[in-house]
Amino acid sequence: MQKMTVFQRFSRSFRENPSLAKILIVFTVSGGGLVAFSEANSDSRINIVNQTEADAKKKRVVVLGTGWAGTSFLKNLKNPSYDVQVISPRNFFAFTPLLPSVTCGTVEPRSIVEPIRNIVRKKNVGIHYWEAECFRIDPENKKVYCRSNLSGDANENEEIVVDYDYLVVSIGARSNTFNIPGVAENCHFLKEIEDAQRIRRTIVDCFERASLPNLSDEERKKILHFVVVGGGPTGVEFAAELHDYVNEDLVKLYPKAKEAVKITLLEATDHILNIDLLNYGFMQVLGFRFDKRITAFAEDKFKRDGIDVKTGAMVVKVSDKEISTKELKNGGAISSMPYGMVVWSTGIGTRPVIMDFMKQIGQGNRRVLATDEWMRVEGNESIYALGDCATINQRKVMEDVWAIFGKADKDNSGSLTVKEFQEVLNDICERYPQVGLYLKNRQMKGLVDLLKDSKGDVVKESVEVSLEEFKSALSQVDSQMKNLPATAQVAAQQGSYLADCFNRMEECEKNPEGPLRFRGEGRHRFHPFSGTSILDNLLHWEESKQLPSSPEIGFRLDTAVSGFGILYMPASKLAHKGIGDIRLGETFHLRKGLEWHLRRQNFEPSYIFFPVF
Amino acid sequence: MQKMTVFQRFSRSFRENPSLAKILIVFTVSGGGLVAFSEANSDSRINIVNQTEADAKKKRVVVLGTGWAGTSFLKNLKNPSYDVQVISPRNFFAFTPLLPSVTCGTVEPRSIVEPIRNIVRKKNVGIHYWEAECFRIDPENKKVYCRSNLSGDANENEEIVVDYDYLVVSIGARSNTFNIPGVAENCHFLKEIEDAQRIRRTIVDCFERASLPNLSDEERKKILHFVVVGGGPTGVEFAAELHDYVNEDLVKLYPKAKEAVKITLLEATDHILNIDLLNYGFMQVLGFRFDKRITAFAEDKFKRDGIDVKTGAMVVKVSDKEISTKELKNGGAISSMPYGMVVWSTGIGTRPVIMDFMKQIGQGNRRVLATDEWMRVEGNESIYALGDCATINQRKVMEDVWAIFGKADKDNSGSLTVKEFQEVLNDICERYPQVGLYLKNRQMKGLVDLLKDSKGDVVKESVEVSLEEFKSALSQVDSQMKNLPATAQVAAQQGSYLADCFNRMEECEKNPEGPLRFRGEGRHRFHPFSGTSILDNLLHWEESKQLPSSPEIGFRLDTAVSGFGILYMPASKLAHKGIGDIRLGETFHLRKGLEWHLRRQNFEPSYIFFPVF
């Protein structure tokens, strides 16, 4: 039930690498949390928002993280009856799907970030932000322990303890090295703005190094060998961006380098973009089968472009000079190649603070923090986790089959009529979406088909089924369970969903709108999270199809964060730019097909469309 | 005869701080320089431009540095009979007058840089660039020793030895700490792009730190105390930018911070902008007396803005928490104040590699490398130095008075007729521009007035003067000597001047166009450098008054570098921008007066005009 990327799935046996944990030095521990803070500062001339008595009655919501999930939650939270504290080491939201473009200067970092204070200050909800990093969650006492990593006076209070009534954990994930030796030391990651900036500097440094005199051909080729590890969307996009950057811009500045440059893409599975994209509903509605056609398109394009795609090659070691891979097919031969730069983009791992939290709450044997379908951490009513730091542990039908049967069998006859079953079918399909998915995938229309399937063709609507027959009919259903991919879109949708729950918390306590509680009494307060529908995506996009206000880059972050699935960019803004520009219809290989598709549908041709992964 | 800023002039007694020298590790020394390199790579498929026999005959020009002087030289070099090697640790040219704007996000770093390879690749002259830093000049063997500071394999050749026929030294200066304790460790400088980016991050960090809970009012005020040291154009402009940034942007994001922020400007002399701007011809032609009115305007404006200008305050120590100043007037009392960030902008000092070079050539007792009026390093015919790393050592008339007299006294009569004197007057005024300046400042029309002045009113045109009388007439002239300020404009003009000399070297060897050699025979090859005239500045500006092609920021670097004295910016480009924008007629306090002035003269009002300091 874990959320995993291609590489993670493949490399399950590698253990987590805890060495990435940031080491911070703390001198003073402040007690009492925020209430104490507010009191201590009551003589301050600076206005502290949560000092009034009215505020003291408000529920304290603490949000950890300012990525897609956290920011989406904050943007969509409208109910002013909360006192919200946002804590994150990053005081901005970053539009991460454009990170590969930052590596090559196609997009400036400034164009894809938005100060979190700018996002929250326009709200009618009282929201405070602190630039600090949570290093411990204490669910028992409902406190989080945070440290400021701002350079400053070491003798000052650097530790912040914050009390919460509700905790929203949306701190994302870390790059996963799978403990492969040398990866952390010698590879670049592509997760944060700073990573992208470092990669950009390193690319140019490689070209400058290769231009120095006194180098042999071999040395020059080694320096200009760029290796990308991981054939997922990020790795593929970075390789494509780098290729264009080299061939359209850098060769003009470094004409001698052209013949020495090489880009290699390493992927452990058989294909690049070998990722289950069933959840990318947006692709489906456009009739674009991303998974197969794009893989073939990208592999073929890369071949023509001279990008060396090595599939079935698992990295086993990275030294400061060479990267070693194991051939997974032919007897596992290990080979090494020298490189100038390696970008590591093989998927995500759990952050240490989450691992620690998982141990505290009995999830120590899991790899990813699990929540229920309402994004509550299992067994912790007041803690929610969403985005890349958690995964929804969809409850299996078979675990509850007895309870479902009992609930449906209103007359306690020990057998279920089709009518009885049909009365709870909607609730079942909502509580266990795998049922609906199963019916849809097998092209069944409803219950009768399901029972027919299990009992043969003899079932009629009046027939009753026993518990055993009911079990048998549902036995295959759980195989349809899908994890949501660790994408920006999913995280943003989760944030928006959770904010909506918070907005209507009181209302839904009184009038629950969710499905029947099969194991308990009454109904669930909310509908469970199910991801935004395809139609919603398109509608969102249509709404936001307007000229952006920023003269630098053509998208509006305030709409982009809502998870609409497409970014657009006016070509007119890009035509003038010099080195490192976006080239309309060129840069984003993967997306070219999509853009053409949209053009044929008479969308404005002067826009570039980006599907948001 | 040294080129000094306000603070330097004041703080002459402080010794240089050599601790800023970059420490680089070198493993292998390659011998033979570039010729050997070319041979060693003759089997390379990579085309090396200077391999042909024709190239071998070319004079090898090595240019150190890619700042205003070096870049201007490269841009203006047109004669293809040179083989040019450019060596600089910075592979881009930076439009440094806009650095203060980068600190507050008004301008993006990308907008004010241009890859040096982009600048040189369009030339018909063979120019090669290497990203390396010169650490030793060997004038005896005509070699420069350089190191690449690119991260790479330590076992590779990191040292480059380059032979030259002509060396153009334009490596600029370093920030001068005057060896004041704690400055290097605790202050920010504002010299490089990276400095400006660091300052920008630190400003925001201070605001984030000040927003953390558990802080007392006092602590908050301390963190939000920004100290600027040095009341020259850079310091004043940074203080003004910071003030606007805080009051127009940051207080929106950090509303609680408003009352705690304080900006202090420390200046050792009696006034800010207390700088001799006689050389800023541009100001003069507009009838704008920069030196006095702008000082008063800036001091008054700063007062109204709440910027605390402390003049007569010399910094004596900077700890990690406090900055200590000495009151220069009232008995030298020393006081300390806590700070959040200090920006140090007090002038420039000589780089270690230049100090070392000066020792080799017998200038070890000087503070700044001296050149003659043709920018040749004294005693080194093949080495030129220009921009901030050198100063022109204008020859004194009194040193040559005997030679001048002898040359003028064609009939060797031992006395000079007015006619004889007038025949050489133009040459004297060109060779010793202080003569012309003296005449102009005393409102004299020529020789007769000068002689009248020294001998009283009794001189007639027919009268002859003796050597003693001649000496007496010229005795005050040298007091008019002015050093050129260490500005981008002067550096750019010098680069352009020197390129022009190189372009016409052969031609001027045959037909010297310079003034009479008083101490030698014949004429000088070239006119000495005298700075571009006021009119030239305006003409340049008129030529370049066109809409810039970059959508980000409205100026064209290719014209900006030519030293025209004005930057312009279309307001329409700026109107849309969000946080950290340039506000037309607002941001640049100092320049507002100038802009108004230009508007009254019916210049296009949608432009912002920047005088280039």
Alpha helices in A320-446 (DSSP H): 352-360, 397-408, 418-431, 433-441
Mean pLDDT, to the nearest integer, of B537-546? Answer: 34
Instruction: Determine whether the interchain pair A578/B30 forms a contact, defined as Cβ–Cβ distance below 8 Å.
Output: no
Tell me which of A532 and B389 has the higher pLDDT: B389
Instruction: Determine whether the interchain pair B259/A45 forms a contact, defined as Cβ–Cβ distance below 8 Å.
Output: yes
Tell me which of A159 and B164 has the higher pLDDT: B164
Tell me which of A14 and B567 has the higher pLDDT: B567
Instruction: Determine whether the interchain pair B212/A256 forms a contact, defined as Cβ–Cβ distance below 8 Å.
Output: no
Binning pLDDT at 50, 70 and 90, where does residue B14 land?
A: very low
The packing angle between helices A418-431 and A447-455, to 10°, is 100
Mean pLDDT, to the nearest integer, of A464-482? Answer: 83
Instruction: Determine whether the interchain pair A213/B130 forms a contact, defined as Cβ–Cβ distance below 8 Å.
Output: yes
Q: Chain B: nearest CA to A42, how far in angstroms?
A: 10
Count CB pairs under 8 A between chains A and B. 156
Sort out which chain A residues have CB atoms less than 8 A from B40's CB and list them.
214
Q: Chain A: nearest CA to B577, how far in angstroms?
A: 6
Instruction: Determine whether the interchain pair B211/A40 forms a contact, defined as Cβ–Cβ distance below 8 Å.
Output: no
Q: Best interface-test mutation with B: which of A28, A39, A46 has the largest number of B CBs within 10 A?
A: A46
Sort out which chain A residues have CB atoms less than 8 A from B43's CB and list them.
217
At residue A566, the pLDDT reads: 34
Q: Which of A150-164, A455-469, B29-43, B327-341 has the lowest mean pLDDT?
A: B29-43
Q: Chain A: nearest CA to B72, how far in angstroms?
A: 19
Mean pLDDT, to the nearest integer, of B142-155? Answer: 77
Tell me which of B611 and B127 has the higher pLDDT: B127
Find the angle CA(A601)-CA(A604)-CA(A605) to the nearest 5 degrees. Answer: 90
Sort out which chain B residues have CB atoms less than 8 A from A44's CB and list them.
217
B346-379 pLDDT, tens digit per residue, is 999 999 999 999 999 999 999 999 999 999 998 8
A396-433 pLDDT, tens digit per residue, is 999 999 999 998 888 888 888 878 888 888 899 889 98
Q: Both tokens of residue A292?
A: 């197969």
Instruction: Determine whether the interchain pair B212/A132 forms a contact, defined as Cβ–Cβ distance below 8 Å.
Output: yes
Instruction: Determine whether the interchain pair A321/B153 forms a contact, defined as Cβ–Cβ distance below 8 Å.
Output: yes
A561-611 pLDDT, tens digit per residue, is 222 233 333 333 333 222 223 332 222 322 333 333 333 333 332 333 333
Nearest chain A residue to B320 by CA distance is: A153
Instruction: Determine whether the interchain pair B214/A160 forms a contact, defined as Cβ–Cβ distance below 8 Å.
Output: yes
Instruction: Determine whether the interchain pair A91/B215 forms a contact, defined as Cβ–Cβ distance below 8 Å.
Output: no
Nearest chain A residue to B151 by CA distance is: A205
Segment of A17-31, A385-399, B268-282 carrying the highest mean pLDDT: A385-399
Q: Is the pLDDT of residue B292 over 80?
A: no
Mean pLDDT, to the nearest integer, of A298-317? Answer: 90
Which of B30, B157, B209 shows the shortest C-beta gap to A152? Answer: B209
Nearest chain B residue to A220 by CA distance is: B46
**Dist CA B489 CA B559 (whole Å):** 12
Sort out which chain B residues have CB atoms less than 8 A from A156's CB and list them.
215, 219
Please state whether beta strands B82-88 and B126-131 pair in parallel, antiparallel, or not at all (unpaired).
parallel
At residue B55, the pLDDT reads: 63
Sort out which chain A residues have CB atoms less than 8 A from B215's CB and list them.
156-157
Q: Is the pLDDT of residue A198 over 80?
A: yes
Find where tokens 């994408």 sit: A487
Q: Both tokens of residue B340?
A: 């959040």
Contact B62, B168 (CB under 8 A): yes
Q: Across chain B, how many H-helices and E-strands are there?
A: 25, 26
At residue A77, the pLDDT reads: 95
Instruction: Determine whether the interchain pair A204/B91 forms a contact, defined as Cβ–Cβ distance below 8 Å.
Output: yes
Q: Is the pLDDT of residue B266 over 90?
A: yes
Find all residues with CB under 8 Å of A335, minimum gap 6, and list them. Answer: A324, A325, A327
Helix (H, G, I), strand (E, B) or coil at A454: helix
Q: Is the pLDDT of residue B4 over 50?
A: no
Instruction: Determine whether the interchain pair A130/B213 forms a contact, defined as Cβ–Cβ distance below 8 Å.
Output: yes
Side-chain half-sphere exposure of A281, counting CA atoms within 13 A: 15
Q: Both tokens of residue A504?
A: 């209507």
At residue A443, the pLDDT reads: 75
Instruction: Determine whether the interchain pair A44/B213 forms a contact, defined as Cβ–Cβ distance below 8 Å.
Output: no
Contact A346, A7 (CB under 8 A): yes
Q: Is the pLDDT of residue A235 over 50?
A: yes
Q: Chain A: nearest CA to B309, how far in angstroms?
A: 25
ipTM above 0.95, yes or no: no
Sort out which chain B residues have CB atoms less than 8 A from A46's CB and list them.
217, 220, 256-257, 259-260
Contact A145, A136 (CB under 8 A): yes
At residue B211, the pLDDT reads: 92
Nearest chain B residue to A202 by CA distance is: B151
At residue B460, the pLDDT reads: 60
Report the share of chain A in percent with pLDDT over 90: 43
Contact B499, B78 (CB under 8 A): yes
Instruction: Determine whether the interchain pair A215/B34 forms a contact, defined as Cβ–Cβ distance below 8 Å.
Output: no
A61-89 pLDDT, tens digit per residue, is 999 999 999 999 999 999 999 999 999 99
Sort out which chain A residues have CB atoms less than 8 A from B255's CB and list them.
47, 121
At residue A67, the pLDDT reads: 94
Contact B295, B272 (CB under 8 A): yes
Q: Best interface-test mutation with A: which of B26, B45, B150, B549 has the largest number of A CBs within 10 A?
A: B150
Which of A156, A205, A260 shows the shortest C-beta gap to B219? Answer: A156
Contact B285, B538 (CB under 8 A): yes
Instruction: Determine whether the interchain pair A131/B256 forms a contact, defined as Cβ–Cβ distance below 8 Å.
Output: no
**Dist CA A24 CA A27 (whole Å):** 10
Sort out which chain B residues have CB atoms less than 8 A from A257's CB and list them.
46
Instruction: Determine whether the interchain pair B151/A205 forms a contact, defined as Cβ–Cβ distance below 8 Å.
Output: yes
Sort out which chain B residues have CB atoms less than 8 A from A196's CB and list them.
none
Contact A159, A55 (CB under 8 A): no
Q: Is the pLDDT of residue A48 over 70?
A: no
Instruction: Determine whether the interchain pair A213/B160 forms a contact, defined as Cβ–Cβ distance below 8 Å.
Output: yes
Find where tokens 């069944």 sit: A444
DSSP secondary structure code for residue B480 in this structure: G
At residue B493, the pLDDT reads: 87
Sign of CA dihedral B536, B542, B547, B552: positive
Sort out which chain A residues have CB atoms less than 8 A from B578's CB and list them.
549-550
Q: Specify the amino acid at residue A52.
A: T
At residue A456, the pLDDT reads: 62
Q: How many CB atoms lie within 10 A of CB B382?
A: 14
Contact B60, B83 (CB under 8 A): yes
Which of B43, B115, B577 shows the shortest C-beta gap to A253? Answer: B115
At residue B457, the pLDDT reads: 58
- B297-303 long-range Cβ contacts below 8 angstroms, 24+ apart: B297/B589, B297/B590, B297/B593, B298/B236, B298/B240, B298/B272, B298/B273, B298/B589, B298/B590, B299/B271, B299/B272, B301/B240, B301/B589, B302/B239, B302/B240, B302/B243, B302/B265, B302/B272, B302/B589
Q: Which of B155-169, B364-378, B393-407, B443-457 has the lowest mean pLDDT?
A: B443-457
**Dist CA B176 CA B229 (whole Å):** 12
At residue A426, the pLDDT reads: 87
Binning pLDDT at 50, 70 and 90, where does residue A549 land?
A: very low
- Written in H, E and C, the secondary structure of B149-191 is CCCCCCCCCCEEEEECCEEEECCCCEECCCCCCCHHHHCEECC
Sort out which chain A residues have CB atoms less than 8 A from B208's CB and list them.
91, 130-131, 148, 150
Nearest chain B residue to A214 by CA distance is: B37
Instruction: Determine whether the interchain pair B153/A260 forms a contact, defined as Cβ–Cβ distance below 8 Å.
Output: no
Q: Chain A: nearest CA to B182, how far in angstroms?
A: 16
Which of A30, A204, A577 shows the shortest C-beta gap to B551? Answer: A577
pTM: 0.78
Instruction: Determine whether the interchain pair A253/B117 forms a contact, defined as Cβ–Cβ distance below 8 Å.
Output: yes
Q: Best interface-test mutation with B: which of A150, A157, A186 has the largest number of B CBs within 10 A?
A: A150
- Per the DSSP assignment, residues forming a β-bridge with A465 are A416
Instruction: Determine whether the interchain pair A156/B215 forms a contact, defined as Cβ–Cβ distance below 8 Å.
Output: yes
